[in-house]
Structure 1
Amino acid sequence: MSTGIIIALCILVLIAYLFDITASKTRIPAVILLLLLGYAVKVVALTLDLPLPPLDPILPVLGTIGLILIVLEGALELQLDRTKFPFIRKSMLLALLPILGLSFTIAGAFYYFDECSFKDALSSAIPFAVISSAIAIPSARTLDKENRSFVTYESSFSDIFGVILFNFVTENDHIGTGTWGQFIWQILLILVISFVATLLLALFMNNIRHHIKFAPIIVIIILIYFVSKVYHLPALIFILLFGLFLENIDELQDYKFFKKFHPERFSTEVHKFKELTGEFAFLVRASFFILFGFLLERSEILNHATIAWAIGITATIFLFRGIFLKLFRLPLKPLVFMAPRGLITILLFLSIPASKQIAIANKSLVIQVIILCALVMMIGLMKNSNNETEHQTP
């Protein structure tokens, strides 16, 4: 049995890799194919009457580790200099403002049609408002450099802002002056922790000559994240700052302290670390979506009671996106299509306390919105690719 499981897992990873390398050609988001693959494995397992252990508890763990690695992978792609600050500020605002607008708009609809408190409605609405960097960043590989950088910044910031807002709403029964004071204190504390931990980890990476050093760094990063989570600190800020520091250490070499890192030599280590992080992120991301597809029920995908809600939420997502892109004078195509929902949506949905869950926002609705957003992105990227081909044809 164990041999069969190992063979099956190896085949699934290889199929996921095939999906990943062909995504730029087919324009089909890998998330759709991975979900279908997971569901197909379930059908085969049920047909063969194979005994399977309960897999539901693994999903949140995989999702959280995947989120950490994906945000870190994205941060390691972001190069900073003073000329990019306006660009970064714009991407931050375009990550934050739609989250706030969508969260309160969708929460208002939940509150109106469901017998629930507005706070519970808001807890269920936030997962739908967050762009999934796990899908957006890999899908942006087909875009030009500027649009790819924008999607990476925006989706990474969207994950961070979404998690911070979600935790703020779900972890505070009453929101008042004291709550805001505590929130500001948590932000300041994580910034201090990020500064100290980033320097220590960077020094460790630069000075350790043992042949194994990147795996312990990733483990320490995950450890810091989960310990911070215990104390309700927004730990994704640390992940983002750590990745930005590693990728942009050469921008600080004019300062005497940072010369100790020997930026020329350090950049080689960062490149190796970036490659390893990408490999880990791929494995965890693929495993997460395959497992989620495995746990899907056909009745959840084809739930007629939620399809109207799913279409309405999806339309609202892209309407808000188009409006904000216009307000910030950014090109609608192809950016308007780059608003997928995925890992972060699932992860936040699974994190909603049972006492705060509402009937409308169920698993079926989450699945349908994810699939619809992925289909819109797929169609948009295909049309964009066709337009570029036509322009290039003499």
Structure 2
Amino acid sequence: MTVQLIITLCVLLLFAYIFDISAARTKIPSVVLLLLLGWGVRQGTILLDLQIPNLMPLLPVLGTMGLILIVLDGAMELEVDRSKLPLVGKSFFMALLSMVIISGLLGWIIYRIDGIVSFKDALANAVPFAVISSAIAIPSSRNLGAANREFVTYESSFSDILGVVLFNFIVFNKVIDAGSVIHSLTGFLIILLVTVVATAGLVFLLSKIKHHVKFVPIILMIILIYAVTEIWHLPALLFIILFGLIIGNINVLRRHRLIRRLQPDALCAEVKRFHELITEFTFLVRASFFLLFGFLLETSELLNSHTIVWALLIAAGIFLFRYLLLKIFRLPARELWFIAPRGLITILLFLSIPMEQSSALVNKSLMVQVVIISALVMMGGSLFPKGKKSGSSQAEAEADAPDSDEPEQAGSAEFGQAATGPAEPSSSGEANPDYRARPNL
């Protein structure tokens, strides 16, 4: 039985790899195929009458690990300079307004229809549906142009952070008043201090450890810091994204005296190897999570007629408000409106709702259907051509220059220039080794 299990796991993960590398051509998000594959395996075990232990406790563990690695990997891909500030600002306010509007409106609807839960508890049930899943959005944005790809990474990461912060703020405060707000702001200041100290220590270790095993201890410390700050209900994802941005842009900091003492050329080489390892781990954990989630899906949950109308209405509201906000911010709505998937973080927050605060209207069937519908909409949106070029050549061309056939993007010169402009060389005059120049698998 052990050998058969090993064979099954290897075959499933190899299928996941095939789905990942074929997504650019098929335009089908690998997440959809992973969910279907996991569900198909479940049906096979039922058909063969195989006894499988309860795997549900593994789902939050894999989900949390995947969230950390995906946000870290995405943050390390981003280049930081002053020209990116407009892009960062727009992505932050897009994520914030989307979070406030969707969770507020859906929370009010749950409160009015349920009639039992308080408005605060109704908000706790609504927040998971307002969060864009970076676990799905970031990998699915690889076929977009460089500007749009960076925007999706920033927006989905901010959405994850804001979603977790808002959810914890609502769930863990019995009364929402000025004191609870001050407590949350204090948490932000603490996590910024933790980020500065932890990043300095981890960068120092990365440059000084000479043992042949050096990256795994650093990854374990990152996860440990995240877990400890989560216990104290601090915005732990903020540490992950800031750490990723700093270490991923170590070239920009090499002119500083402290970085020069750490042999920046050798440090950049180590960061490159570290990023490659993070990318490999991210693929493995993300694929395992969605395979397991698909395996745990019940057919009755997918086809629940009592919740499908609600799921369709929620999904329609999500994409309608997203389109309107993109137009308000003068962002390329045609390329970005459909990238608003719900997924990993939605599942994790739903599983974290305390029993005494849960609403009868929000159940697993509704959550699963919204996740599936949003993924299908994203798949459908990616199938329509956005310009004259198509396929992999389009993705490669867009990575270097904005598409001239995109009127919305052309109308937003600030956004396009901020996100697609060439990276400025280091003021130190030294060559900047760009470890990002690697193929996307």
Aligned residues: CA RMSD: 1.5
The residue aligned with 1:261 is: 262
The residue aligned with 2:414 is: none
The residue aligned with 2:63 is: 63
The residue aligned with 1:184 is: 185
Task: State the alpha-carbon separation in 2 of the partners of residues 384 and 181 from structure 1.
Answer: 48
Task: State the alpha-carbon separation in 2 of the partners of residues 315 and 363 from structure 1.
Answer: 19
Task: State the alpha-carbon separation in 1 of the partners of residues 186 and 312 from structure 2.
Answer: 39
Task: State the alpha-carbon separation in 1 of the partners of residues 245 and 377 from structure 2.
Answer: 31
Task: State the alpha-carbon separation in 2 of the partners of residues 322 and 263 from structure 1.
Answer: 43
Determine whether 1:201 maps to 2:227: no
The residue aligned with 1:105 is: 105
Task: State the alpha-carbon separation in 2 of the partners of residues 45 and 348 from structure 1.
Answer: 29
SS in 2 for 1:243: helix
The residue aligned with 1:316 is: 317
Note the alpha carbon deviations across 1:100-123, whole angstroms, 9 max, x for none.
Answer: 111101111111111221111111
TM-fit CA distance, 1:77: 0.7
Determine whether 1:332 maps to 2:333: yes
Note the alpha carbon deviations across 1:250-285, whole angstroms, 9 max, x for none.
Answer: 212232223223332222111111111111111111
The residue aligned with 1:277 is: 278
The residue aligned with 1:12 is: 12
Contact 1:95 1:158 in 2 (8 A): yes
Letter paired with 2:197: V
Aligned 1:371-390 pairs, distance under 5 A: 371-384=372-385, 388-389=389-390
TM-fit CA distance, 1:385: 5.1
SS in 2 for 1:195: helix
Task: State the alpha-carbon separation in 1 of the partners of residues 385 and 359 from structure 2.
Answer: 38
Task: State the alpha-carbon separation in 1 of the partners of residues 263 and 162 from structure 2.
Answer: 33
Residue ranges of structure 1 left out of the alignment (5+ in a row): none
The residue aligned with 1:23 is: 23
TM-fit CA distance, 1:87: 1.2
The residue aligned with 2:125 is: 124
Task: State the alpha-carbon separation in 1 of the partners of residues 297 and 249 from structure 2.
Answer: 41
Note the alpha carbon deviations across 1:211-247, whole angstroms, 9 max, x for none.
Answer: 1111111111111111111111111111111101111
The residue aligned with 1:300 is: 301
TM-score by length of 1: 0.97
The residue aligned with 1:50 is: 50
Determine whether 1:80 maps to 2:75: no
Contact 2:90 2:329 in 1 (8 A): yes
Residue ranges of structure 2 left out of the alignment (5+ in a row): 395-441
Contact 2:35 2:293 in 1 (8 A): yes
Contact 2:335 2:386 in 1 (8 A): no
Letter paired with 1:382: L
Task: State the alpha-carbon separation in 2 of the partners of residues 234 and 88 from structure 1.
Answer: 18
TM-fit CA distance, 1:209: 1.4
The residue aligned with 1:33 is: 33
Q: Percent identity?
A: 55
Contact 1:333 1:384 in 2 (8 A): no
TM-fit CA distance, 1:41: 0.8
Contact 2:124 2:353 in 1 (8 A): yes
SS in 1 for 2:385: helix
SS in 1 for 2:252: helix
TM-fit CA distance, 1:362: 0.7
TM-fit CA distance, 1:371: 1.0
Note the alpha carbon deviations across 1:312-365, whole angstroms, 9 max, x for none.
Answer: 110110111111111111111111111111111111111111111111111111
Task: State the alpha-carbon separation in 2 of the partners of residues 264 and 328 from structure 1.
Answer: 40
Contact 1:341 1:374 in 2 (8 A): yes
Task: State the alpha-carbon separation in 2 of the partners of residues 185 and 271 from structure 1.
Answer: 34
SS in 1 for 2:170: helix
Letter paired with 1:102: I
Letter paired with 1:206: S
Contact 2:323 2:333 in 1 (8 A): yes
> Would you say how many aligned residue pairs link Structure 1 and Structure 2?
392
Letter paired with 2:223: I
Note the alpha carbon deviations across 1:355-381, whole angstroms, 9 max, x for none.
Answer: 111111111111111111111111111
Task: State the alpha-carbon separation in 2 of the partners of residues 292 and 265 from structure 1.
Answer: 41
TM-fit CA distance, 1:387: 5.4
Task: State the alpha-carbon separation in 2 of the partners of residues 364 and 105 from structure 1.
Answer: 21
Task: State the alpha-carbon separation in 2 of the partners of residues 262 and 90 from structure 1.
Answer: 36
The residue aligned with 1:96 is: 96
Letter paired with 1:332: A
More displaced 10-residue stretch of structure 1: 251-260 or 78-87: 251-260
